Chain A
Amino acid sequence: MKKIYLDYNATTPVHPEVLDAMMPYFKDFYGNPSSVHSFGQETRKAVEDAREKIANLLGAENPSEIVFTSCGTESNNFAIKGIAFDNKDKNCHIITSAIEHHAVLKPCEYLSKKFGVDVTYLPVDKCGIVNPDDVKKSITEKTVLISIMYANNEVGTLQPLEEIAKIAKEKNIIFHTDAVQVVGKIPIDVKKLGVDLLSISGHKLYAPKGIGVLYIKKGTKLHPLLHGGSHEKNRRAGTENVPYIVGLAKACEIALKNMKDENDRILKLRQKLEKGILEKIEYVQINGHIMKRLSNTSNISFNFIEGEGILMSLDLDGFAASTGSACTSGTLEPSHVLSAMGVPPEKTQGSVRFSLGHYTTEKDIDKLLEILPKIVERLRSMSPLWEDKKRSEIRD
């Protein structure tokens, strides 16, 4: 059975060209970039070339604004704790949203519990969008940071970043965005967006797991998370992960080259997927903004059934998708994103996220559209909620 992967928002496979670019830096060019000798000079050059390529993808003014980290979570922790610790004497206040990734929510909760930092979690509308007016109204003289994600990982909704950045700038407040799901999918220009800090994760754009970046606009002051050597201009101690840094740069280069065509192709596939589902299956709804959304993400609620059953059935047919529902492994909490969007609990439970990517083909979508209606029908035939629904229809 051919396995079909539709979970690219969770992670992506390493692109073959990325792997090729990385390989020499494990065995042949292994010098410590901080070393003075020629071994070190070779890898130092590789790291600085990579920094320049990544700065280029982001439209950064200067390559020194790119700081390498170990992952997206570290980048988010660095941004949030770094700013809070830099303002620790001020009894500070942070504004974020209710739909952020846990890599933003948890550091905020930590700062709040351990250091008494005041945190505002802004609500979102039914499409998952933060209202810039709410940002404006929440600002106090103690606000030191606004952190709003660029695109949500579960539903793909894009936020009005430029408007929020403008508000932050007017009040002289640092603005951070978790852009982990966006980088490599749509063009990013940090200057146009007006952000001060921006988080990237390599494994979301066909680079390996274990490499991330925090873009730090020149002049932005933040405390380091890791203390040690003077790497990354004293902003992040630890010997640079040279092969992974080279891999990330290659991935950025590939993304930049193919972005428009790839985005158009994937958008067409998603449109086909959603049109097909809406035609073939009754009582479904698409979560997130219909237009202002990542082209690859489709979050769908199948009413009267539960998401995990759909995922398990899909898996038996070779498909990999995911759910933010109660049965996401390890947690029984329903999706905080869908809940914040006002999706009622029984529909939250029945949501499935399909996220498309580089290797998704039209055939894959055709096959999914062939088996998904059968899966939904089978699970509904077992559901007491479906039984009640059918009975009430007969009565009507």
Chain B
Amino acid sequence: MQYSSKVMEHFNNPRNVGEIADADGVGNVGNPICGDIMRLYIKVKDGIIVDAKFKTFGCGAAIATSSMVTEMVKGKSVDEALKISNRAVAEALGGLPPVKMHCSVLAEEALRAAIDDYHKKNPE
């Protein structure tokens, strides 16, 4: 199995690892039985995601997709962020091996879960 150089780079130097103590939204997805757990934190100001951090238990692709999705959402409005698809995350990483596409799905799910949590905490 061959990872793209971009995946390797994000695995080796992941962006935005950590937690946000006063996060406006937290998304928790996956379980250890299926092999991956992602926890994604977002900080929102005036409808714009100003910060995102993650913690991930999973393979190299899971760590790289987490890193990439946090990079992609920063600076986007909450509505724009909801449009980020798993495919877009995978493409930004220069592609993923077919057996690892589920990692990008998990990243998309983690993002949606964090935004859902934000909406719950901030009803319009």
Return the contact of A384 from the options B3, B35, B55 (Cβ within 8 A). Answer: B55
Interface residues on B, range: 20 to 34
Q: Are B59 and A382 touching (Cβ within 8 A)?
A: no
Interface residues on A, range: 20 to 34
Contact count A vs B, C-beta below 8 Å:
72
Q: Are A308 and B57 touching (Cβ within 8 A)?
A: no
Q: Are A308 and B17 touching (Cβ within 8 A)?
A: no
Known contacts A316-B12, A326-B59, A330-B1; A387/B99 CB under 8 A: no
Q: Are B19 and A381 touching (Cβ within 8 A)?
A: no
Digitize B52-73: 1 where CB-to-A-CB distance is under 8 Å, 0 elsewhere: 0011111110110000000000
**Which of B3, B28, B54, B58 has the most A CB atoms < 10 Å from its CB?**
B58
Known contacts A385-B57, A387-B55; A332/B11 CB under 8 A: no
Q: Are A382 and B55 touching (Cβ within 8 A)?
A: yes
- Rounded to whole Å, the gap between the CB of A83 and the closest CB of chain B is 35
Chain B residues close to A by CB (< 8 Å): 1, 3, 8, 11-12, 14, 17, 19, 28, 32-39, 54-60, 62-63, 99, 102
Known contacts A306-B58, A330-B99, A387-B19; A382/B1 CB under 8 A: no
Majority secondary structure of chain B interface residues (helix, strand, loop or mixed): mixed
Closest residue to B12 on the A side, CB-wise? A316
Known contacts A312-B11, A332-B99; A382/B56 CB under 8 A: yes
Digitize A94-131: 1 where CB-to-B-CB distance is under 8 Å, 0 elsewhere: 00000000000000000000000000000000000000
Which B residues are in CB contact (< 8 Å) with A385?
Answer: 32, 37, 57
Assess whether A383 is interfacial by the CB under 8 Å rule.
Answer: yes
Which B residues are in CB contact (< 8 Å) with A313?
Answer: 12
Known contacts A330-B99, A382-B63; A345/B33 CB under 8 A: yes
Q: Are B1 and A309 touching (Cβ within 8 A)?
A: no
Assess whether A189 is interfacial by the CB under 8 Å rule.
Answer: no
Separation of A331 and B97 alpha carbons in the complex (Å): 12
Known contacts A332-B99, A382-B14, A384-B39; A308/B55 CB under 8 A: no
Q: Are B19 and A309 touching (Cβ within 8 A)?
A: no
Which B residues are in CB contact (< 8 Å) with A386?
Answer: 55, 57
Which A residues are in CB contact (< 8 Å) with B36?
Answer: 306
- Rounded to whole Å, the gap between the CB of A349 and the closest CB of chain B is 5
